[in-house]
A = this chain, B = another copy of it.
Amino acid sequence: MIKLYGYWRSSASYRVRIALELMGVDYDYVSVNLRTAEHRSGDYLAKNPQGLVPMLEFSDGTQLTQSLAILDYMDSEFEGPKLLPRDPIARAQIIAAASIVACDTAPIQNLRVLKYIRAEHDQDDAGVKAWAAHWIADGLSKLEKTLALDSYAFVGSQDPGYLECVLIPQIYNAERWGVDMSRFPILSGINSHCLALEAIQRALPENQPDAG
């Protein structure tokens, strides 16, 4: 059985959970508690010296890290519905749209960055919230405008996949940090559609065994 090392509130773990559920893959969930720094413990670092989740582990011991690499691998190697379009231009457009979130947004409002600005830049709760909300709104605004292009019209008519794996966790964070999602009607529409699906409900942070 495949093992997913993750944490309920990690966005990158949530991406991979959505992908596993959309593709109908059975897996064991291994919680790595980021709050108690299990990801920086010797046991976990020996497996993954990046000290990050998620990590996917196959029964032969092969380990894959980094959510985008895992999604790419799953799309090409796993049975089940595909995560990426077969058309090369549409594929590139989806990867580009997901990169607006995965490269230009999520990393800047990551927990370790928030901890740093609190400690090193003397930011209080309001300052931390302002930082997270600023970068999330900036990224989602770029994505909303991109998905509004004619060349992205196909996104609305296809089943959730790679883009949604990355987007749904980002919107979860947006709501957590008080970003006004009504500014982003295309993204909000995708989110509502996805959250109504049983597969994505199984992947929700609050439905994980380590939630709390």
Binding site for B on A (CB under 8 A): 49-52, 62-70, 72-73, 76-77, 88-89, 91-93, 95-96, 99-100, 102-104, 106-108, 113, 116-117, 120-121, 123, 127, 130-131, 134, 142, 145-146, 148-149, 151
A211 to chain B, nearest CB (A): 24
Residues of B within 8 Å of A121, CB to CB, are 117, 121, 123, 127
Check B52 against A104 for contact (C-beta < 8 Å): yes
* Option from B77, B92, B106, B113 in Cβ contact (under 8 Å) with A69: B92
By DSSP majority rule, is chain A's interface helix, strand, loop, or mixed? helix
Residues of B within 8 Å of A130, CB to CB, are 120
From A56, which residue of chain B is reached at the shortest CB distance? B92
A108 to chain B, nearest CB (A): 6
Considering the chains assembled together, what is the distance between the CA atoms of A131 and B119 in angstroms? Answer: 12
Residues of B within 8 Å of A88, CB to CB, are 73, 76-77
From A77, which residue of chain B is reached at the shortest CB distance? B88
Residues of B within 8 Å of A95, CB to CB, are 66, 68-69, 72
Considering the chains assembled together, what is the distance between the CA atoms of A94 and B113 in angstroms? Answer: 25
Considering the chains assembled together, what is the distance between the CA atoms of A64 and B67 in angstroms? Answer: 22
* Option from B65, B68, B89, B120 in Cβ contact (under 8 Å) with A62: B89
Residues of B within 8 Å of A52, CB to CB, are 104, 142
Considering the chains assembled together, what is the distance between the CA atoms of A68 and B149 in angstroms? Answer: 20
Residues of B within 8 Å of A117, CB to CB, are 117, 121
Residues of B within 8 Å of A63, CB to CB, are 151
Q: What are 15 A-B contacts defined by CB distance under 8 Å?
A: A49-B146, A49-B149, A50-B142, A51-B142, A66-B96, A66-B99, A68-B103, A69-B92, A69-B93, A72-B91, A73-B91, A76-B88, A103-B106, A116-B134, A121-B123
